[in-house]
Amino acid sequence: MLSIAICDDEKHICDYIESRTRRLLALNDIEATISTFSDGEELVCACKENPSSFDIIFLDIKMKKANGVECAKTLRNDGVNSLIVFVTSSAEYVFSGYEAKAFRYILKTDLENAFDRIFTECFAELKKQETDFFTLKTGSVVKNIPLNDIFYFESKLRVITLHTKNEEISFYGKLDNIEKELAEKDFIRIHQSFFVNALKIKALNKETAELSCGTILPISKSKTTTVKQAYLWSKR
């Protein structure tokens, strides 16, 4: 079941997006819960305890009590990987949310024409994420691990350990081969021994990357620039 959040301090916009969303859900026979917020701080609080609370967030950029871009950055720093769709009253704000890794933008003046298409693209992206797996074999068992569940791969003496939120799986292999296999995905080699899901990076400094699970990993000096770029531009 999908979980969708709508955050806008203009009630008529919030109501319109909710109504349009429910219509599309019904047409496509999709089950979902919808939560509405009139303030960005309320949304941040709702996601604080569970960063996976929502699959899609429709977020107003310019609100009276909170700036939507800053709200989105806070969500990302808290480990929220939801698809964020910025809803804005002016095109001048469209480029201000790159660091928050917005998935799409909708101008309020174009809601009627653009909303159905944007919602369809969100749903398609979520389906794509569900079918993106890393396949590994341990003994006689073959496992398919959703890429979105993986925080990082760790290499030590030809043993690779795959780290997810709930488990660690070790197998023989080379990190170089995994890097090639996932070259088109949102993963970045931050160190000779660590290959990380860029979407799980919560904070960076010159020497370390903090992941949303709380793990802190070292960054090689030679990779500082590419890691920063991957963090800023990883797809959502």
123: domain CATH number? 3.40.50.2300
Structural domain range at position 198: 133-233
Q: What is the tally of structural domains in the chain?
A: 2
Segment 179-188, tens digit of pLDDT: 999 988 889 9
Determine which of 54-68, 124-138, 190-204 has the lowest per-residue pLDDT on average. Answer: 124-138
Q: At 235, is the pLDDT very low, low, confident or very high (cuts 50, 70, 90)?
A: very low
Verify that 104 and 38 share a domain, yes or no.
yes
Verify that 102 and 144 share a domain, yes or no.
no
In the predicted model, is pLDDT for residue 122 greater than 70?
A: yes
Cβ proximity of 11 and 62 under 8 Å? no
* Most confidently predicted of 105-109, 126-130, 131-135: 105-109
Question: Which pLDDT score, from 0 to 100, does residue 234 have?
Answer: 60
Verify that 153 and 65 share a domain, yes or no.
no
Q: Which of 111, 131, 151 is the last residue of a domain?
A: 131
Verify that 225 and 163 share a domain, yes or no.
yes
Verify that 138 and 121 share a domain, yes or no.
no
The vertex-222 CA angle with 217 and 223, nearest 5°, equals 50
What residues contact residue 36 under an 8 Å CB cut-off, 6+ apart?
5, 6, 7, 14, 18
User: 3-state class of 219 per DSSP?
Assistant: coil
Question: Which pLDDT score, from 0 to 100, does residue 225 have?
Answer: 85
* Percentage above 70 pLDDT, the chain: 94
**For residue 46, what are its two tokens?**
């709702």
